[in-house]
Amino acid sequence: MKAEIENPIAYYDWQNFNQSLMEFAKITQDIASARTMVEVRKNLLYSKSIGQINNFEYGFGSSHLWVKQLSRDRDKTMEQVLTVTF
């Protein structure tokens, strides 16, 4: 598994930025603690279900994971911030 940070986290205001950094750290921990794509998917799904990931959108391809930050109003995605290949 290889993770690549592609873009910085966008800054809107201090509170949102701090929350986004904490969520990004949680996402990277969910990835680093997994050994397979199935485990990554399970970890991220759990984190999202308990409200630990609100400022990011993620999805899976056949052999990769992408993570995008949501816009300030959470109505659209921004640039991709992280890609993980399996």
Q: pTM for this one?
A: 0.90
Strands 77-85 and 64-70: what pairing? Answer: antiparallel
The kind and range of the H/E element at 48 are helix 37-49
Sheet holding 77-85, edge to edge: 2-5, 77-85, 64-70, 56-60
Per-domain residue ranges of the chain: 2-85
Q: What digits encode the pLDDT tens for the residues 20-29?
A: 999 999 999 9
The tally of CA atoms less than 13 A away on the side-chain side of residue 63 is 4
Return the SS3 of 54. coil
Q: What digits encode the pLDDT tens for the residues 24-80?
A: 999 999 999 999 999 999 999 999 999 999 999 999 999 999 999 998 877 787 889
